[in-house]
Amino acid sequence: MTLVSDLRIRIEAASGDSELRHNSPGLEVAVRLEVEDASISIQISGGDVRVVDEVSPDIVIAGTRAGWSAVVTAPQPPLHNSFTALQLANPAFEVAGEPLKIAQARAALDRLIECIAPVMATEATAFESDLSQVSGKYVDLDTQGGHCRVYYETAGESGVPLVFLHTAGADGRQYLEQMADCELASRFRLFAPDMPYHGRSMPPRDWDGEPYCLTSVVYLAWLTDFVETVIGEPAIYVGGSMGAAIALTMAAQRPNMTYGVVALEPPFQSKGRQNPFQNHVCVHAGLHNSAFTRGLMSPSSPIDHRRVASWIYTQGAPGVYYGDLAFYSEEFDGAEIGPLIDASSTPVALLSGVYDFSATPEDGAKLASTIPGALHIVMDRLGHFPATEHPALFRPHLMRGIEHVTNQRVTK
């Protein structure tokens, strides 16, 4: 069977996929897939995918034969597992079309690429978990960013505080599996806050409705006040992506409040993640932003966990994801922050997933080189949201990072 014939059969089999239908309300788009000298034309109409005769396409996805061969491989290798990866990060592909139409079709096309090569989830050792040990609370904070009512979850009664910091546009639900981890709760005091504007936390009371834009100054003030008010002692910050960036900023600028850092998917200089269609009146932000982030996950992470990870992104307030990326993508610079961290007194572990094209393992290694003494761990078969997309596979890496921090503190 030829590559083009194989692709055609896989695309036709995806028609009527329940999640593809969910991602395509009202969508009418013609797409041409180009495989060097051959092509396939498809029409997507509300989740129904049909291979059709040559039509004038709205979107063209052109790739090399080797590139498309990787797309039909299970599991798809990094940069071949989502339309967003093909568009933004894969040099073997070029995507053409009107930007608005591409944004409107992103969720459908990402799911279609997922459907082309379904794969069994990578097995991992289960751990003892108890959701009943997790409780939620609110606290009023008065910071430079204004008076905020912040929601956080907590577990565990003794030990070094361990604070989980969520990614851009998300909230503390990303760490529910870690908060329910019985061993972690027996050894540490666990906290997972929703930063203001996120999840169950409110905007500042004096917010006047202006567009939200996160800065390191405001973010640092929020986190500092949360730690001083709720925790009362230095903590280990386990932060993902944007949370990793602020955790490293705490280590650099608030070392007296930082026991150590376990930075998940830490950026070095992650420019270009902001996209105007993340907050646009002509684009369904819940569909677009969940797809934009789903494309950063491993195809061998369990599909139900990937759906949970992306579901959180369907629920963000307008403009919050885009506003967070002003800090994560445009302001944070690992080349500046890294050298300010003294890892001999504030231990640092950096954890990078191989499927993450936003904060790659190469970026993690580059960042580690600016922080003498930092531990860098590359996580095979994981992506940008390891704590949510595959908690069991992620757990040994997390424990190794935490042990690095605690051992360094004991032996220094």
pLDDT tens by residue, 158-188: 999 999 999 999 999 999 999 999 999 999 9
**Model confidence pLDDT, tens digit, residues 21-63:** 999 999 999 999 999 989 999 999 988 899 998 889 999 999 9
CATH of domain 132-411: 3.40.50.1820
CA-CA distances (angstroms) from residue 7 to 25, 301, 329?
Answer: 24, 23, 35
Task: Per-residue pLDDT tens, the chain, 412 aa: give them.
Answer: 799 999 999 999 998 899 999 999 999 999 999 999 899 999 999 888 999 988 899 999 999 999 999 999 999 999 999 999 999 999 999 999 999 999 999 999 999 999 999 888 999 999 999 999 999 999 999 887 789 999 999 999 999 999 999 999 999 999 999 999 999 999 999 999 999 999 999 999 999 999 999 999 999 999 999 999 999 999 999 999 999 999 999 999 999 999 999 999 999 998 878 999 999 999 999 999 999 999 999 999 999 999 999 999 999 999 999 999 999 998 999 999 999 999 999 999 999 999 999 999 999 999 999 999 999 999 999 999 999 999 999 999 999 999 999 999 877 6
Enumerate the β-bridge partners of residue 61. 33, 95
Q: What CA–CA distance (Å, rounded) separates 57 from 54?
A: 8
Q: List every span in the chain annotated with CATH 3.40.50.1820.
A: 132-411
- Measured at the alpha carbon of residue 359, what is the angle toward residues 355 and 361, in degrees to the nearest 5? 65
Q: What CA–CA distance (Å, rounded) separates 342 from 74?
A: 42
pLDDT at res. 412: 60
Q: What CA–CA distance (Å, rounded) separates 6 from 64?
A: 15
pLDDT at res. 270: 81
Token readout for 92 is 């073997």
- Residue 167 identity (one-letter amino acid): T
Q: List every span in the chain annotated with CATH 3.30.1050.10.
A: 3-116
pLDDT at res. 273: 84
Is the domain 3-116 a CATH 3.30.750.24 member? no
What single DSSP character describes residue 374? Answer: -
Token readout for 29 is 């788009």
Question: Cβ distance 387 to 175 under 8 Å?
Answer: yes
Q: What CA–CA distance (Å, rounded) separates 85 from 65?
A: 17
CB atoms within 10 A of CB 121: 20
Identify which of 210, 204, 239, 205 has the alpha carbon closest to the alpha carbon of residue 222: 204
